[in-house]
């Protein structure tokens, strides 16, 4: 089957006119008509009927369209598999305010000529991102499969950096005046992280963190978004939350919120990048090197059980490890 004819059919179906399809493809209307006619002969079915406004799909054309789109997408993925450098690097991040996105933005500003497409899959389960990578929808994802055995063999997961966590509190909170806080000082205080998604990496992270330091981490209640959380913190005298040190958060000055670093040990959230093991996008290496070139968290640092911290010597800790960074 002529894949160019299939592509032409899909475009004509979407725009509703052969002339518009011809303009998009940079060919003549006659060429479009010939491609469609050849495809109809091969399929032994009529795909379009002519109307006063252009063309409409027949019943056979409607049945063929979703499969034709799959053919076009498959061809594009096949081409990208052997020539990934011809398109922008597409990376999935947890959110556009996350430290991942902030660092990627810094990288792009330092290298404005690169092709970079940053997206967010809006899924808690990292296996959704794994499926998107394997399908070719994204080139890489800043997600973590906390059980390495569950990662498909055709994918690789690189630990690229650890982001320190900070406690975010309102002005009436008893810890608001602290310059720094230790995990021990957080005990008995309610740390609210609403909407912890089951099977997510952060659900595993907070479970291990709560166990390691006997913290009261509350994931109850619906997640109405960052703005609602910030408003709650501003009004509360007993609720706090964790945020990444590189997360980009903005709130009205009247809120009076404070970000307080956690030290001795620093609580570090590991950041991993998942990508194809063979033939990854050529732009990935520079991204990984850029992240790994950033400063490591202050020592000592606690991390959960799954990553191997960079330049770190492990000391055992309950449900995780405390590392003394070199």
In a domain, 286, yes or no: yes
Among 49, 82, 115, the domain boundary falls at: 82
Residue 277 and residue 130 in one domain? yes
How far is residue 115's CA from residue 91's CA, in Å, rounded to a whole number? 11
Residue 212 and residue 142 in one domain? no
Which residue's structure tokens are 């690789």? Answer: 156
Does the pLDDT of residue 79 top 70, yes or no? no
DSSP codes of every residue in 150-177 = GS-TTEEEEEEEEEEEEEEE-TTSTTTT
Residue 50 and residue 13 in one domain? yes
CB of 258 closer than 8 Å to CB of 168: yes
Residue 98 and residue 78 in one domain? no
Residue 55 and residue 67 in one domain? yes
- CATH code (residue 70): 1.10.10.10
Q: What proportion of the chain, given as a percentage, has pLDDT over 70?
A: 91
Does the pLDDT of residue 270 top 80, yes or no? yes
Among 82, 98, 133, the domain boundary falls at: 82
Q: Work out the mean pLDDT of the chain and round it to a whole number.
A: 87
Does the pLDDT of residue 249 top 60, yes or no? yes
How many residues can be counted in the chain? 326
Instruction: Give the rounded distance of the alpha carbon of 313 from its chain centre.
Output: 29
In a domain, 306, yes or no: no
Q: Which pLDDT band holds residue 52 (cuts at 50, 70, 90)? A: confident
**Whole-number pLDDT of residue 80:** 63
Among 66, 82, 98, the domain boundary falls at: 82
**Whole-number pLDDT of residue 323:** 34
In a domain, 41, yes or no: yes
- CATH code (residue 181): 3.40.190.10
Residue 217 and residue 167 in one domain? yes
Residue 263 and residue 175 in one domain? yes
pLDDT, one tens digit per residue, over 138-195 is 999 999 999 888 999 999 999 999 999 999 999 999 999 999 999 999 999 999 998 8
Residue 105 and residue 48 in one domain? no
Does the pLDDT of residue 325 top 60, yes or no? no
How far is residue 82's CA from residue 109's CA, in Å, rounded to a whole number? 28
| 131-168 per-residue burial string, b: 16 or more CB within 10 A, e: under 16 | ebbeebbbbbbbbbbbeeeebeeebbbebbbbbbbbbb
In a domain, 282, yes or no: yes
Does the pLDDT of residue 225 top 90, yes or no? no
DSSP codes of every residue in 104-143 = HHHHHHHSTTS-EEEE----SSHHHHHHHHHHTS-SEE--
**Cis, bond preceding 300 (omega within 30 deg of 0):** yes
**Whole-number pLDDT of residue 85:** 56
Contacts of 169 (CB under 8 A, 6+ apart): 175, 176, 233, 240, 257, 258, 260
Residue 148 and residue 102 in one domain? yes
Residue 10 and residue 139 in one domain? no
Instruction: Give the rounded distance of the alpha carbon of 127 from its chain centre.
Output: 12
In a domain, 249, yes or no: yes
Does the pLDDT of residue 205 top 90, yes or no? yes
Exposed, middle or buried, 221 (CB in 10 Å: 0-12/13-18/19+)? Answer: exposed
Task: Look up residue 225 and give its two tokens.
Answer: 């978004």
CB of 270 closer than 8 Å to CB of 309: yes
**Whole-number pLDDT of residue 311:** 40
In a domain, 304, yes or no: no
How far is residue 142's CA from residue 237's CA, in Å, rounded to a whole number? 34
The reported pTM is: 0.68
Q: Which pLDDT band holds residue 86 (cuts at 50, 70, 90)? A: low
In a domain, 46, yes or no: yes
Q: How many domains does the chain have?
A: 3
In a domain, 240, yes or no: yes
pLDDT, one tens digit per residue, over 22-48 is 887 888 999 999 999 999 999 999 999
User: How many Cα atoms sit within 13 Å of 183 on the Cβ side?
Assistant: 21
Residue 141 and residue 189 in one domain? no
Higher pLDDT: 46 or 125? It is: 46
The residue segments making up the domain with residue 135 are 89-161+270-299+315-325
Task: Look up residue 83 and give its two tokens.
Answer: 């020539």
Residue 220 and residue 274 in one domain? no
CB of 91 closer than 8 Å to CB of 104: yes
**Whole-number pLDDT of residue 167:** 97
How far is residue 191's CA from residue 238's CA, in Å, rounded to a whole number? 9
**Whole-number pLDDT of residue 308:** 57
């Amino acid at each position: 089957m002529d894949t160019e004819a299939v592509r032409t059919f899909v475009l004509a179906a979407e725009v509703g006119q052969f002339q518009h399809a011809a303009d998009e493809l940079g060919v003549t209307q006659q060429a479009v008509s010939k491609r469609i006619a050849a495809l109809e002969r091969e399929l032994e079915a009529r795909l379009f009927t002519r109307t006063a406004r252009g063309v409409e799909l027949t019943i056979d054309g409607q049945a063929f369209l979703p499969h034709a789109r799959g053919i076009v997408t498959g061809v594009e993925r096949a081409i990208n598999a052997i020539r990934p450098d011809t398109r922008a690097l597409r990376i999935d991040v947890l959110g556009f305010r996350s430290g991942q996105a902030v660092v990627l933005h810094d990288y792009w500003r330092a290298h404005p000529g690169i092709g970079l497409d940053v997206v967010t899959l809006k899924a808690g389960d990292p296996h959704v991102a794994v499926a998107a990578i394997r399908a070719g929808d994204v080139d890489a994802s800043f997600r973590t499969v906390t059980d390495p055995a569950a990662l498909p063999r055709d994918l690789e997961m690189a630990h690229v950096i650890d982001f320190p966590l900070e406690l975010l509190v309102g002005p009436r909170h008893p810890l608001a005046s602290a310059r720094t806080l230790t995990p021990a000082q957080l005990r008995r205080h309610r740390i609210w992280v609403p909407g912890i998604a089951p099977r997510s990496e952060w659900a595993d992270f907070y479970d291990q963190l709560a166990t390691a330091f006997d913290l009261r981490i509350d994931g109850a209640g619906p997640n109405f978004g960052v703005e609602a959380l910030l408003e709650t913190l501003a009004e509360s005298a007993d609720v706090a939350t964790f945020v990444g040190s590189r997360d980009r958060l903005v709130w009205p000055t009247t809120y009076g919120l404070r970000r307080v670093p956690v030290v001795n040990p620093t609580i570090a959230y590991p950041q991993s990048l998942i990508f194809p093991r063979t033939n990854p996008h050529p732009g990935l290496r520079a991204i990984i090197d850029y992240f790994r070139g950033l400063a490591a968290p202050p020592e000592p640092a606690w991390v959960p059980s799954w990553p191997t911290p960079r330049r770190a010597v492990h000391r055992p800790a309950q449900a995780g490890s405390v590392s003394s960074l070199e």
